[in-house]
Amino acid sequence: VQLVESGGGSVQSGGSLRLSCAASEYPYSRSCMGWFRQAPGKEREGVAQIDNDGSTRYADSVKGRFTISKDNAKNTLYLQMNSLQPEDTAMYYCAAPVFFASCSPQNLLPASRFPYWGRGTQVTVSS
């Protein structure tokens, strides 16, 4: 399984970025997929997850600003991030659970449920 993120960068507060995650050797369309982030000195936290039926879940801190989506034909996961704030600064990771696993019905699955990870892409938001 390979997950490769792209799209990170440096933006000013209020700006936007779109992250992408290309997946290979993985049943992308039939499994939960997620985005996590980790800021220096902090634990990795879930940001957004999308289930095989397209249903989505978000961390409270990003609701209304971030949108997770996927293109099954391209085996690519996206995270559109709008109204970025300095507190969004972190390394962002794409993650996948075991094959064919579903997301939690309501909450974000913890990082421990995701054995497959990309290397991350850095997002830096300046005030």
Residue 93, Cβ density class (10 Å: 0-12 exposed, 13-18 middle, ≥19 buried): buried
* pLDDT average, residue stretch 46-55: 95
pLDDT in tens, 93-111: 999 998 888 999 889 999 9
pLDDT in tens, 52-106: 999 999 999 999 999 999 998 899 999 999 999 999 999 999 999 988 889 998 8
Mean pLDDT, the chain, rounded, equals 95
β-sheet bridge partners, residue 12: 126
Smallest CA-to-CA distance from 80 within 41, 50, 110, 112 is with 50
What pLDDT is stored for residue 51 in this prediction?
Answer: 94
Smallest CA-to-CA distance from 55 within 88, 13, 103 is with 103
Phi, psi of 113 (to 5 degrees): -90, 0
Phi, psi of 88 (to 5 degrees): -85, -5
Going by pLDDT thresholds of 50, 70 and 90, the confidence category of residue 29 is: confident
